[in-house]
Amino acid sequence: MHSHFITKLLGLEDVEITHVEDQITHFEIHIQTPVKVQKCPCCQKETSSVHDDRIQKIRDVKVFEKYCFLILRKRRYRCKSCGKRFYEPYSFLERYQRHTKRLLQALLVKVREYNFKQVAKETGLGHSTVIRLFDKYYSYDNKALPKVLAIDELKGTSETGKYQC
């Protein structure tokens, strides 16, 4: 019953919560998905044959000012037709990523107001990761810069009366 409310609160679809751990600095929410029929990315045939699974720790947005990690039991399927092995897709996780789509959205909103260092501290990601994600989703064109840049000096508000650029 409680897991239903947690999945609604976190916006996780088709996920079963096995248990939740409340640590001092963070929450760990252990999740898995039910075994379903999957479509092979190679031959497009349907299969429900599970090859193996592994545990992946995924960073999510903060909950009650604590970091939140989803501990996902990630299933790998095997196609009986072509033998290809593949992971099932998740609606909340992009391929090859260790953070949720929701954390990425929060990061892109926060980067408008704060600098990269503050956003990295708030989200728990590395400084270079925040910059890389910003560059990936906010591409800017260098050709839009002006050919001429004017620089002027002005008298600053310092007591010594020095000029500033």
pLDDT digits (tens, 9 = 90+) for 45-88: 999 999 999 999 999 999 889 999 999 999 999 999 999 999 99
Distance CA 114, CA 102 (A): 18
- Residues 83 and 3 occupy one common structural domain: yes
Residue 94 within any structural domain of the chain:
no
Q: Decide: 73 and 31 in contact? Cβ < 8 Å.
A: yes
Q: How confident is the model at residue 44 (pLDDT cuts 50, 70, 90)?
A: very high
Distance CA 15, CA 57 (A): 15
pLDDT at residue 13 is higher than 80: no
Q: Pick from 72, 65, 70: which is nearest to 25 by CA? A: 65
Q: Pick from 82, 81, 104, 78: which is nearest to 93 by CA? A: 104
Q: Strands (DSSP E) along 34-116, which ranges?
A: 38-39, 46-47, 50-63, 66-78, 85-87
Could you list the residue range(s) of the whole structural domain that residue 135 is in? 99-165
- The pLDDT value recorded for residue 152 is 77
- The pLDDT value recorded for residue 158 is 63
Q: How confident is the model at residue 165 (pLDDT cuts 50, 70, 90)?
A: low
Residue 104 within any structural domain of the chain:
yes
pLDDT at residue 120 is higher than 80: yes
- The pLDDT value recorded for residue 156 is 67
Instruction: Give pTM, 2 decimals.
Output: 0.76
Number of domains composing the chain: 2
- Residues 22 and 67 occupy one common structural domain: yes
**Per-residue burial over 43-53, b = 16 or more CB atoms within 10 Å of its CB, e = otherwise:** eeeebeeeeee
Q: Decide: 117 and 127 in contact? Cβ < 8 Å.
A: yes
Which range has the worst mean pLDDT, 71-80, 97-106, 148-157? 148-157
**Per-residue burial over 6-16, b = 16 or more CB atoms within 10 Å of its CB, e = otherwise:** bbeebebeebe
**Overall average pLDDT of the 6-21 stretch:** 82
Domain boundary, last residue among 27, 54, 89? 89
- Residues 80 and 12 occupy one common structural domain: yes
